[in-house]
Amino acid sequence: MTADHASSPFDLQDRVVIVTGGAVGIGKIYSERLAELGAHVVIADIAADAGDALAKSIVSNRGSAISVATDIADPIATDAMAEAALKAFGKIDALVNNASLMSTLPRRSWLEIPLEEWDRVMQVNLRGLFLCCRSVVPHMKARKKGKIVNIASTRVFEGTPNRLHYTTSKGGVLAFTRALAREVGEDNITVNCIAPGLTLSETQLASSSQSYLANSYDQGRAFVRPQVPADLVGALLFLLTDASDFMTGQTLVVDGGRVMH
């Protein structure tokens, strides 16, 4: 590594980054790209087999990664996630709160949402966010630096119907991001958010009909093409590096210019 590279504000070399939901879908793309750029990636996913396979693939390609089976709604599991990162790499530089319950949710009227489904979405998408931060922030605080990136959705700005519980939970992610940013700022920890538009991840493709996806491409975007997971990587990398050190409590909308936020 050259001296110029080491001093770059966009450098991720040897940063330890936890990616929840990092084994599949958009999270898998995040994990792979971070490893390619020299980060040590902790793949925290309830899909343990997929996480193990991805970590093995990253290591075989000379990257650095471990897989930790993690149910983010379980405080014991999120504490174990943080401890596994510390045991493997000695520190935690960043947390990407990517895991959420979405692709398995039927699109239906809010009046048809079962109460237990509503509760489960909130348990994963908000309680899980809270628990992951609670498990990781003390270790960042001890080092007086850290990066937290939460993943919301442009559904919050558009009021997209038919998954009211999911949309509501992502609104909570925005509020959580802003409030936590003020609580941890004195410890030099940044807390920011990315709000993606409809993204053609493997999980989105598996859970959506072709007619739904076809009708969703023309959404008044400035860029008239489908959004893919790679479109989100640049914003994530910026928020994880020193280049964004004086930015906190903010939400970056990445949707090809439909919601100009």
Indicate which residues carry an active-site annotation. Answer: 166
What do you get for the CA distance between the two ends of the chain, in Å?
38
Name every residue whose Cβ is closer than 8 Å to that of residue 183 and which is 6 or more positions away in sequence.
Answer: none
CA 222/CA 224 separation, integer angstroms: 6
Query: 196 with 151: CB under 8 angstroms?
Result: yes
Q: Is the separation of the CB atoms in 21 and 92 below 8 Å?
A: no
Write down the number of H helices and E strands in the chain: 11, 7
Contact (Cβ atoms closer than 8 angstroms) between residue 46 and residue 70: yes
Q: What is the sign of the dihedral through the CA atoms of 126, 169, 145 and 68?
A: positive
Residue in 68, 7, 15, 1 with CA at minimum distance from that of residue 237: 15
Please tell me the distance from the alpha carbon of residue 149 to that of residue 176, in angstroms, as a whole number.
11
Asked if 230 and 237 touch (Cβ cutoff 8 Å), the reply is no
Vertex 224: Cα angle to 218 and 226 (nearest 5): 75
User: In the numeric block, which tokens belong to residue 108?
Assistant: 């239906």
Gyration radius from the chain CA atoms: 18
